Amino acid sequence: MKKLFILVAVVVTLSCNHKAVSVSEFLSSGEWVDLTWDYEQSTVYWPTNVTFKHDTVFYGINDKGYFYSSFKYSAEEHGGTHFDAPLHFAQGGRSVEQINVEEFTGEAIVVDVADRCADNRDYLITEDDFLSWEKDNGTIPKGSIVLLNTGFGKYWGDPLQYTGTVNSGALGVEELQFPGLSPEGAQWLVKTREIKAVGIDTPSIDFGQSKDFLTHRFLCGNDITAYENIANLHLLPAKGAYVVAAPMKIKGGSGSPLRIIAWIPEKLKK
């Protein structure tokens, strides 16, 4: 009875004091930020992948006298800003179309390790980085989308700086050098904070020199999705942004191109 009274009091208070705000009014009070890189010929792919192709099917005035254009593209799943489904490193794991859309959205926390990565391209993000984020921001909420800002986003457009190599094939793989999430850090996030997904502004959630991809294997094995080659993380606040990460719905896909955007409330705009 007491609970019912409190509920009625809250509803009456809300309806008396607050003018109804529509969803679009609410959203337009904040700002949408694009966390996605363009897909084009120079988009970063793994050294053993075929790069993105975009060819003209038709461009110009057609035989009926009006303008028309159409192109065709081809892409490997894991290049540019993209999504990793659990199937990527877990046999029997979910493929892209099997993931509930609710899992593509959530509150983001942004862990800034750019200082530590600036003088160490092999930097591995650990539990200590998350604990130091928590000192300033409180406990990482359950269901968070954890975005890792290594600062490497600023090197996009300069493949040597961004990935550590301009070579393709096995030699390119050998030379890859960029920071990543340590397997222990991934385990801590999943086991103690029950996060929803992880994203990073480098080509891989495992660091470039990884040979066994333990972070991928742990995340995929625990049914957690990941985003790679994310853009513009420096524009997001440490917490309070809301992310929508919508991958192309490839049936049976282990990953796919990703359009990822974030909404920042007015008061948190940088």
Number of residues binding to Zn ion, judged by CB under 5 A: 4
* CA separation for the pair 223, 209 (Å, rounded): 24
**84 contacts Zn ion (rule: CB under 5 A):** yes
Cα dihedral: 61, 63, 65, 67 (round 10): -30
Looking at the DSSP bridge assignments, the partners of residue 244 are 105, 261
Stretch that binds Zn ion, among 61-69, 110-118, 184-192, 255-263 (CB under 5 A): 255-263
Q: What is the 3-state secondary structure (H, E, C) of 199-262?
A: EECCCCCCCCCCCCCHHHHHHHHCCCEEEECCCCHHHCCCEEEEEEEEECCCCCCCEEEEEEEE
- State the residue number with the nearest CB to Zn ion: 78
**78 contacts Zn ion (rule: CB under 5 A):** yes
Stretch that binds Zn ion, among 79-87, 151-159, 207-215, 262-270 (CB under 5 A): 79-87
Residue 68: partners with Cβ closer than 8 Å, 6 or more residues away? 58, 59, 60, 61, 62
Q: How far is the CB of 91 from Zn ion (least distance, A)?
A: 16
Closest CB to Zn ion among residues 49, 177: 49
Closest CB to Zn ion among residues 133, 216: 216
End-to-end CA distance of the chain: 45
Residue found by looking up tokens 């609410």 in the block: 26
Stretch that binds Zn ion, among 8-16, 72-80, 96-104, 120-128 (CB under 5 A): 72-80
**216 contacts Zn ion (rule: CB under 5 A):** no
Closest CB to Zn ion among residues 30, 203: 203
Q: How far is the CB of 75 from Zn ion (least distance, A)?
A: 12
Name the residues that contact Zn ion, by CB under 5 A.
Answer: 78, 84, 228, 255
